[in-house]
Amino acid sequence: MDFALSEQQEMLKNAASEFLAKECTKKLVREMEKDEKGYSPELWKKMADLGWMGLVYPEKYGGSELSFIDLTVLLEQMGRAIAPGPFLSTVVSCGTAILKYGTEAQRKEFLPPIARGEMIMALALTEASASYDASGIKVKAVAEGSNFVINGTKLFVTDAHVAGCFLVAARTKSGRDKQDGITLFLVDARSPGVKCTLLQSFTGGKKCEVVFKNVRVKKADILGKLDQGWKIVDDIIQLSAFAQCPWMLGGAQQALEMAVAYAKERRQFDRPIGSFQAIQHKCANTQVDVAAARDFIYQTAWKIDQKLPCKKDISMAKAWTSEAYRKACVEGIQIHGGIGITQDHDMQLYYRRAKAMEIAFGDADYHLELVAQEMGL
């Protein structure tokens, strides 16, 4: 198989790289860490005008109808620039779920404003256990006439504080089978009874606690079928876990290039430190990890486009890339020495995001367990 980028994909890659280098400076990244919103509305609008938000959505919903490999190319460049903003939560976790499982009315309501950059969404999935298993969903939704009433608390909800709508996983039926009785709801973030609190985080991302107290939603706001939402949740977890991978790949590649550049210019004992075998091996091992991650990721993106079974591939990519990104940053810090751990240096920006994305939608252990299950173990 030929996984070389097409001419169009090379153009997308280069255009995204040039745009982000100009518009998403490390100065902006640092400012957005301190900003309560966590993203620049101006940059968000420019990204939307470039068609990034609707890249994989059909044209009739305001999208460009490009492939998942195209989205992977874009995500890699965004990860390289550590672009702040609710892109993954809005476009991937929520938007693609609506595209795949929503009614036509729901698609027309949500996808065009997402593509225009006017709608931000947040996936309200995890709770106190921080588990990605069905047993971790305790928030309840009880039927009352033509409505449902939602009560409970969601934790670590990314970008909830700036979202106009939540995609909420709630339990609508209790039983021995924890995967049975889960339903997904599209909930207006301004609904009475919704309280969102921004949590303190060292990662640079914005995580929130969202409390639902007697929040009423219509039955028409159910995504998919009543009590049968776990299949959708599982699909969202897989796709969201995969979308983290090219983002992490871009970050790992940038961390590697920063380390190599420093190893070439930093001199010790009258020679560049990159001439020492210990430093060479750190850089070479990181290069191997990054190259393997790229192969995992683009092969999996191709399978997603071809609608081939790829659950095992996604878990392998997430497990490998999570480790590769973290290790690239750790080795980069080691090569830089003391300066690598200072707040003024860019390496720590990548390291903190590597730690956050390592556990988002399942860490390496979680995904290796899924790989073992796919192997029949």
pLDDT at 254 over 70: yes
pLDDT of residue 341: 84
Are residues 273 and 280 in contact, defined by beta-carbon separation less than 8 angstroms? Answer: no
Residue in 87, 86, 84, 89 with CA at minimum distance from that of residue 28: 84
pLDDT at 27 over 90: yes
pLDDT at 282 over 90: yes
pLDDT of residue 225: 95
Q: What stretches of 255-353 adopt beta strand conformation (E)?
A: 267-268, 271-272
Residue 207 within any structural domain of the chain: yes
Residue 1 within any structural domain of the chain: no
CA 276 – CA 274 distance, rounded (Å): 5
Same domain, 103 and 128: no
Banded model confidence at residue 200, pLDDT cuts 50, 70, 90: confident
Mean pLDDT to the nearest integer, 5-21: 96
- Select from 58, 90, 119 the last residue of a domain: 119
CA 86 – CA 88 distance, rounded (Å): 6
Residue by residue, DSSP assigns 278-303 as HHHHHHHHHHHHHHHHHHHHHHHHHH
Same domain, 257 and 304: yes
Cβ neighbours of residue 90 closer than 8 Å, sequence gap 6 or more: 53, 114, 119, 120, 121, 122, 159, 163
Residue in 365, 292, 360 with CA at minimum distance from that of residue 328: 292
Banded model confidence at residue 1, pLDDT cuts 50, 70, 90: low
Same domain, 18 and 147: no
Per the structure, the complete domain to which residue 164 belongs is given by: 123-228
CB atoms within 10 A of CB 227: 15
pLDDT of residue 320: 97
String of b and e for 290-307 (b: at least 16 CB within 10 Å)?
beebbebbbebbbbbbee
Tokens matching residue 105: 């009315």
Cβ neighbours of residue 342 closer than 8 Å, sequence gap 6 or more: 348
Residue 49 within any structural domain of the chain: yes
Same domain, 104 and 136: no
Tokens matching residue 373: 């299950």
CATH for 369? 1.20.140.10
pLDDT of residue 9: 95
Same domain, 103 and 131: no
- Counted domains in the chain: 3
pLDDT of 306-341, one tens digit each?
999 999 999 999 999 999 999 999 999 999 998 888
Residue 257 within any structural domain of the chain: yes
Q: Are strands 267-268 and 140-144 parallel, antiparallel or unpaired?
A: unpaired
* % of the chain residues with pLDDT over 70: 99
pLDDT of 284-314, one tens digit each?
999 999 999 999 999 999 999 999 999 999 9
Same domain, 60 and 137: no
CATH for 211? 2.40.110.10
Same domain, 308 and 336: yes
Give the total residue count for the chain. 377
Same domain, 75 and 127: no
pLDDT at 235 over 90: yes
Tokens matching residue 181: 């009785």
- Select from 88, 119, 150 the last residue of a domain: 119
pLDDT of 43-55, one tens digit each?
999 999 999 999 9
Cβ neighbours of residue 189 closer than 8 Å, sequence gap 6 or more: 122, 160, 163, 164, 165, 166, 196
CATH for 38? 1.10.540.10
Same domain, 241 and 356: yes
Mean pLDDT to the nearest integer, 133-155: 95
pLDDT at 107 over 80: yes
Residue 243 exposed, middle or buried by CB count within 10 Å (0-12, 13-18, 19+): buried
Bridge partners of 144, per DSSP, are 147
Residue 203 within any structural domain of the chain: yes
Residue 2 within any structural domain of the chain: no
Same domain, 113 and 130: no
CA 348 – CA 330 distance, rounded (Å): 9
SS3 of residue 77 by DSSP: helix
Banded model confidence at residue 205, pLDDT cuts 50, 70, 90: confident
Same domain, 97 and 217: no
Are residues 296 and 317 in contact, defined by beta-carbon separation less than 8 angstroms? Answer: yes
DSSP 6: P
CA 16 – CA 22 distance, rounded (Å): 10
- Select from 66, 93, 119 the last residue of a domain: 119
pLDDT at 8 over 70: yes
CA 54 to chain centre: 16
pLDDT at 64 over 90: yes
Where is 222: in which H helix or E strand? strand 222-223
Measured CA distances, 84 to 62, 201, 359 (Å): 23, 14, 18
Tokens matching residue 228: 């049968």
Same domain, 217 and 300: no
